[in-house]
């Protein structure tokens, strides 16, 4: 199988949003994707970004925007995020009345579709969707807030996905509590897309922090 390249994906939630253009300038050219956490105050206890914000971001960057929908009705709202320029959309399967239909609708528009899995949801529960998705987002914290501690047991889900993947092409994304150590362990275990918020924007150079995830032990 072709080894997928590792993508470090900065999470917009941890950027200085009052100076979004300056924050975007801190992101090195090697970064291809940005992660946008969409929270509705209903599925999770926090409210963040909507389509209007995404549209502004779309104008401010050429990087791909990975919209992570933590909302109760993705069937209704996913198209708004696509209209505003999302390149990838993930949603939590339990929030959709017809997950497969939504995956197909997303892909039909040329947008990559992913399923996001909370730490307490068995990965086996999405087995039937795996041939259809472009990526699986494994949550390594409970969704809602940046800056939480990495849940180590989630790494076992990577083993399962790698076993099941065979000729399927989905990427494995991990999200929550990623720093140099947990990021490194996730990569070694087989995750390919690594979302990181607080760690990357904790100060100092974002490039250096990315390198610490990629190259430090």
**Active site members:** 37, 175
Q: Indicate the residue among 198 and 207 with the shorter CB distance to ligand DX5.
A: 198
Shortest separation between residue 37's beta carbon and Zn ion, angstroms: 4
- Pick out residues in 27-86 that bind ligand DX5 (CB under 6 A): 35, 37, 68
Q: Find the shortest distance in angstroms from Cβ 138 to ligand DX5.
A: 11
How many residues of this chain bind ligand DX5 (CB under 6 A)?
22
Query: Which is nearest to 66 in space by CA: 40, 36, 39, 92?
Result: 36
Under rule CB under 6 A, residue 184 binds ligand DX5: no
Closest CA to 113 of 88, 130, 85, 96: 88
For the chain, what's the residue count? 217
Cα 202 to the center of its chain, rounded Å: 19
Q: Does 131 bind ligand DX5 (CB under 6 A)?
A: no
Is 196 an interacting residue with respect to ligand DX5 (CB under 6 A)? yes
Least distance to ligand DX5 from the beta carbon of 36, Å? 9
How many angstroms separate the CA atoms of 150 and 161, rounded?
19
Residue 134 found at the interface with ligand DX5 (CB under 6 A): no
Give me the half-sphere count of Cα atoms (radius 13 Å) on the Cβ side of residue 205. 6
186 near ligand DX5 (CB under 6 A): no
Q: At what angle do helices 51-60 and 74-83 cross, to 10 degrees?
A: 30
Among 9, 23, 68, 103, binds Zn ion (CB under 5 A): 68
| Residue number of the CB atom closest to Zn ion | 68
141 lies in the binding site for ligand DX5 (CB under 6 A): yes
Which of the listed partners (Zn ion, ligand DX5, none) does 32 bind, with a CB threshold of 5 to 8 Å by partner kind?
none
Task: Tell which one of 175, 187, 193, 206 touches ligand DX5 (CB under 6 A).
Answer: 175
Could you say which of 7, 173, 175, 192 contacts Zn ion (CB under 5 A)? 175
Structure tokens at 214: 């990629």
Q: Is 37 in the site for Zn ion (CB under 5 A)?
A: yes
Nearer to ligand DX5, 35 or 102 (CB): 35
Cα-Cα-Cα-Cα dihedral sign, residues 76, 77, 81, 83: positive
The answer to whether 33 and 61 have CB atoms below 8 angstroms apart is no
* DSSP per-residue codes, 36-78: EEEEBSSSSS-B---HHHHHHHHHH--SEEEEEEESS-HHHHH
Binding residues (CB under 5 A) for Zn ion: these are 37, 68, 175
């Amino acid at each position: 199988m072709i080894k997928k390249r590792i993508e470090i994906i900065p999470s917009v939630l941890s950027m200085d949003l009052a100076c979004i253009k300056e924050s975007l300038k801190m992101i090195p050219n090697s970064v291809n994707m940005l992660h946008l956490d969409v929270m509705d105050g209903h599925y999770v206890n926090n409210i963040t970004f909507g389509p209007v914000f995404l549209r502004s971001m779309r104008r401010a960057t050429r990087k791909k925007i990975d919209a992570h929908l933590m909302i109760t009705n993705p069937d209704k709202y996913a198209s708004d995020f696509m209209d505003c320029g999302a390149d990838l959309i993930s949603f939590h399967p339990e929030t959709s009345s017809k997950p497969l239909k939504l995956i197909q609708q997303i892909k039909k528009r040329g947008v990559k579709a992913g399923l996001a899995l909370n730490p307490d949801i068995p990965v086996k529960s999405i087995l039937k969707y795996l041939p259809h998705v472009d990526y699986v987002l494994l949550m390594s914290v409970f969704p809602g807030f940046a800056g939480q501690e990495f849940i180590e047991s989630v790494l076992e889900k990577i083993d399962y996905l790698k076993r099941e993947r065979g000729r399927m092409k989905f990427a494995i994304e991990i999200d929550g509590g990623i720093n140099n150590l947990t990021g490194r362990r996730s990569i070694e275990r087989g995750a390919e897309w690594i979302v990181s918020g607080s760690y990357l924007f904790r100060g100092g150079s974002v490039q250096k922090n990315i390198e610490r995830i990629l190259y430090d032990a």
